[in-house]
Structure 1
Amino acid sequence: MIAMPEEFARSTIEREGEAGAEWLAELPGIVEELLGRWECVPDGKVLHGGVGVIVPVRRRAEETAVLKVSFPHPGNAHEPDAFVAWAGRGAVLLHERDDERFAMLLERVQAATLAEVADGDEVVAVAGWLNRRLAIPAPSGLPRLREQADAWEEQLRRDAEELTHPLPRQVVDAAVATVRELGRVQPDTLIHGDLHARNILRAGREPWLAVDPKGYAGDPAYDGGTLLKSRALTLLEADDPSKAVHRILDVFAEAAELDRERVQRWAQFHAVQAAFWGRRHGFRIARSGPQLDWLTEFADRLAKLLTKGS
């Protein structure tokens, strides 16, 4: 049986509780069964992301691939549908899928991520270029982001009233306006849904390929916010954070061929959501303590910087 990474097991139990422990107990058997069914043999160290394990494999002697098995969760359900629609355009290829087990056999690419590139403009430009590559007509059956708009607005208003926070009313109102004006009318365009540098890997078939999509149908500018949040450390280290934030927006919008103001508005919405989410739930990398306080304060600052006129 293949051993699962201890860090992955610990974080899964912390996040999912008893359900996570039960799934982890079954996971080695699930991996073995899929290896046999898809005629694969392990070919390297077992890796992991936030919610799944990645097993490098060889198939039929010469073909390399990776077996990915994720914790069963609705948020992971449409990942293979996105890969099918893209058919290798800007994303890794899907070879096999088992939706019941939240498992896929995927094209193997390099382990190096876009996050390892030192040039910040290059990181953002590549992400924007991929955003444009991935923006194709969405197939039916994918979750439409416009259907979340009512819930987004309700949650923003509840958080603003119930939580202790320093966000001015102008900042919260701007996020609500984005939901009303952009959120309820979105195109049926396939977007990644969680586009950031760690979800973009070096490859040979194309210079960079995307992994770990959510598979949403919506506004491509929505992903500008997920990218901006992932640049937190870079922004905090900048001599002029405001200038650095707007540089990211400029480069991303140009590379993605998107309206720059639209990207900024979605990014501001993401930042306000993050500021409230951190106060209610913590973040995956920090559930409590000084690091959580630091991340929440950063989300506050980012939300204010992105609010026009503030």
Structure 2
Amino acid sequence: MGFEPPQRLVRALGDNDWLGRLPKLFEETVARHGLEIERVMAPGGRSSLVVLVRQQDGTPAALKIVPPFAAPELERAALAHWDGFGAVRLLGGSEEALLLERLHPEMSVRSLPDAKALLEAAGTVRRLWVEPPAGHAFETVAERTGRQAAALSGNADVAPPALVAAALSAREELTALSPEELLLHGNFRQSKVLAGDRTPWLAVGPEPLVGERAYDLARLARDRAEDLIAASAGASSARRRVNRLADSLDVDRDRLRGWTLFRAVESGTRAIAAGRRAEGELSLEFAGWL
């Protein structure tokens, strides 16, 4: 069966070899698993194709096809280790495809009022923080942020020098001693928590790595930054938000603030360098408040 990939995926990947072979890969995967196609999710993700399907016994599921550069094997390993506890359940798949339990993609935690959304998101992510499996291949927070720090230094001219210096200094101090080595989601935020049937909320789309909980909360801390920026007391609200989030999960406030600063500056400079100026400036303004 032919199909048109979501335009969001096409724009994100551009002229990419994987995107060119995606139609054939999609058809082969559907045939191999005997799936009945319902619809392609749109707008869909920026680096993967998600299709709502039914298995041979009629059970609803979601098929996620992931390019090799997005490390589907690591996502599969993390989901298998969590085994549905706090995260979407892995049902099967193949090298570049993940067959997942069907959630309700139209309803994420982000659809809730902010205070309630943070509460539900925090309750979800804490279930993911477990000991990693023996012999795992996940990278560490230090390794991932080391690459990001090098790229940040290369893009430093697009952001205030003092902010870049503060972010790099924070990262160096934080990685000097990691207080814990837990399996982390890696890209956790409100939109990564979807409504489910067997439990109210489940995490999706991990970019797993191993490290401390504060790192995993840093992206969540700046969710809905646009709302804070629009408020008259945005700066103080942002700092209180970080503190409340840290306290609710018994995470050190200073470490969460440091990781939030680094991740906001890294994300902001990367977005500006990629031509997404409005998105980048939002992250940098938030970082400046910390």
Verify same fold: TM over 0.5.
Answer: yes
Query: TM-score when scaled to structure 2?
Result: 0.89
Q: Following superposition of structure 1 onto structure 2, how do residues 97-246 of structure 1 map, counting pairs within 5 Å?
A: 97-99=93-95, 102-111=96-105, 112-117=107-112, 119-139=113-133, 140-160=136-156, 163-168=157-162, 171-186=163-178, 187-246=180-239
Q: Following superposition of structure 1 onto structure 2, how do residues 21-60 of structure 1 map, counting pairs within 5 Å?
A: 22-47=17-42, 48-60=44-56
Per the alignment, do residues 42 and 158 of structure 1 end up closer, same or farther by CA in structure 2, a change over 3 Å counting?
closer
Structure 2 counterpart of 1:4, which letter? E
Alignment correspondent of 1:267: 260
Q: Which runs of 5+ in 1 are unaligned?
A: 287-291
Contact 1:128-1:254 at 8 Å conserved across structures: no
Q: Which runs of 5+ in 2 are unaligned?
A: none
Q: C-alpha separation between the residues in 2 aligned to 1:188 and 1:222?
A: 11
Contact 1:134-1:190 at 8 Å conserved across structures: yes
RMSD (Å) for aligned C-alpha atoms: 2.2
Per the alignment, do residues 71 and 225 of structure 1 end up closer, same or farther by CA in structure 2, a change over 3 Å counting?
same
Deviates more, 1:173-182 or 1:77-86: 173-182
**What secondary structure, in the 3-state scheme, does the structure 1 residue paired with 2:87 have?**
coil
Structure 1 counterpart of 2:81, which letter? A
Runs of 4+ displaced beyond 6 Å: none
Structure 1 counterpart of 2:181, which letter? D
1:208 CA displacement: 0.5
**What secondary structure, in the 3-state scheme, does the structure 2 residue paired with 1:136 have?**
coil
Structure 1 counterpart of 2:4, which letter? M
Q: C-alpha separation between the residues in 2 aligned to 1:49 and 1:152?
A: 22
**What secondary structure, in the 3-state scheme, does the structure 2 residue paired with 1:137 have?**
coil
Per the alignment, do residues 236 and 107 of structure 1 end up closer, same or farther by CA in structure 2, a change over 3 Å counting?
same
Q: C-alpha separation between the residues in 2 aligned to 1:105 and 1:77?
A: 13
1:97 CA displacement: 2.6
Q: Please give the per-residue CA displacement for 1:166-186, whole angstroms capped at 9, x wherever unaligned.
A: 342xx3343223222222433
Alignment correspondent of 1:289: none
Aligned residues: 285
Per the alignment, do residues 178 and 166 of structure 1 end up closer, same or farther by CA in structure 2, a change over 3 Å counting?
closer
* Sequence identity (%): 27
1:295 aligns with 2:279: yes
